[in-house]
């Protein structure tokens, strides 16, 4: 039997519904829960985990943090991480923030430290307040205008909590960091994304090795990743701006609006116009609730 970590790429996709900059989920495991199997991975969202009962450890960017009740863990987009949870009862609230919305938060004063993973342990009173905020967030539609500000408040509280000490792992697995120059260039200017050869040069790798390593690490080719990133960025612009579909298509480097529409439909199951209509209806419903 092929081990599970070899059957799937270590970049796990997180799909968000139209109009929703985040997703929130509560998870509870009972007394008979077995220890979780480690699975080093990364994804395109920013991730905050608010633990209740928990034991085990949290690894991020080749550093290990011991987990104890009330811990919070944060991982920015595209950073390797893993949770190895001890057997027995455990619970947590998972908050995953869309990459573009999360990057806007990181640029705000006081949130610069969100550019790196961390683990912290609030005092009991602070943890209780954070869980009350999480309960409020769980009760909202993910597209509600209050959702993202509440997530920001949780992040600010997490940053104020005492850090959990970390130790460096000897055999790190942060292979995606070697690819970050190409990913960062794409994010700075998606309309002028480098081709595979240019991306390889940015990472000081040969084109063949870059392509092989990128597919192994991310689970898709560089060109597929560029297309997927542009489509997700387009989905945000459809909801957050009044720009025409054609304007968004050209601004993000798609050859024609019709080609953009075909790719968008294939990715999201909706035309750009329908995606905008449904997403804005959800936003308007949240505002009037």
pLDDT tens, N- to C-terminus, the chain (289 residues): 222 222 333 445 566 766 688 999 999 999 999 998 766 667 778 999 999 999 999 988 778 999 999 999 999 987 778 888 999 999 999 999 988 788 888 888 889 999 899 999 999 999 999 999 999 999 998 888 899 999 999 999 999 999 999 998 764 445 567 888 998 898 889 899 999 999 999 999 999 999 998 887 777 899 988 998 888 788 878 877 899 999 999 999 999 999 999 999 998 888 999 988 887 776 666 555 5
DSSP at 192: G
CA distance 110 to 129: 20
Q: Which helix (H) or strand (E) holds 69?
A: none
The CATH number of 4-168 is 2.60.120.280
Contact criterion met (CB below 8 Å) for 138 and 92: no
In DSSP terms, which residues pair with 75 in a beta bridge? 47
Half-sphere exposure of 235 (CA within 13 A, CB side): 27
Pick from 27, 89, 78: nearest CA to 56 = 89
Radius of gyration of the chain (CA): 20
CA distance 71 to 127: 9
Residue carrying structure tokens 């954070």: 130
In DSSP terms, which residues pair with 57 in a beta bridge? 66, 84
DSSP at 272: H
CA distance 83 to 61: 12
Contact criterion met (CB below 8 Å) for 19 and 144: no
Q: pLDDT of 130-158, one tens digit each?
A: 999 999 999 998 888 899 999 999 999 99
Helices and strands (H, E) in the chain, number of each type: 11, 9
Q: pLDDT of 153-207, one tens digit each?
A: 999 999 999 999 999 876 444 556 788 899 889 888 989 999 999 999 999 999 9
Phi and psi (nearest 5°) for 189?
Answer: -145, 75
The CATH number of 220-289 is 1.10.10.60
Q: Give me the pLDDT at residue 164, please.
A: 97
């Amino acid at each position: 039997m092929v081990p599970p970590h070899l059957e799937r790429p270590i970049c796990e996709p997180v799909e968000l519904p139209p109009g929703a900059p985040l997703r929130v989920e509560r998870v509870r495991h009972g007394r008979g829960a077995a220890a979780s199997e480690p699975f080093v991975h990364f994804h395109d969202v920013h991730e905050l985990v608010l633990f209740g009962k928990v034991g085990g450890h949290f690894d991020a960017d080749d550093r290990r943090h011991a987990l104890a009740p009330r811990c919070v863990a944060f991982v920015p987009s595209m950073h390797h991480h893993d949770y190895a949870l001890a057997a027995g009862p455990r619970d947590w609230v998972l908050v995953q923030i869309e990459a573009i919305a999360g990057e806007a938060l990181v640029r705000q004063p006081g949130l610069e430290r969100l550019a790196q993973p961390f683990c912290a342990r609030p005092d009991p009173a602070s943890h209780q307040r954070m869980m009350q905020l999480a309960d409020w967030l769980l009760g909202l539609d993910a597209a509600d205008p209050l959702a993202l500000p509440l997530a920001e408040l949780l992040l600010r509280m997490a940053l104020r909590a005492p850090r959990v000490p970390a130790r460096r792992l000897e055999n790190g697995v942060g292979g995606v960091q070697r690819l970050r120059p190409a990913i960062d260039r794409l994010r700075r200017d998606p309309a002028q994304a480098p081709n595979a050869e240019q991306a390889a040069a940015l990472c000081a790798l040969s084109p063949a090795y870059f392509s092989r390593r990128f597919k192994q690490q991310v689970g898709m080719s560089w060109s597929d990743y560029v297309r997927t990133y542009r489509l997700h960025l387009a989905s945000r612009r459809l909801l957050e701006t009044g720009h025409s579909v054609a304007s968004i298509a050209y601004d993000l480097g798609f050859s024609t609006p019709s080609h953009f529409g075909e790719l968008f439909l294939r990715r999201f199951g909706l035309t750009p116009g329908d995606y905008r209509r449904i997403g804005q209806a959800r936003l308007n419903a949240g505002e009037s609730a």
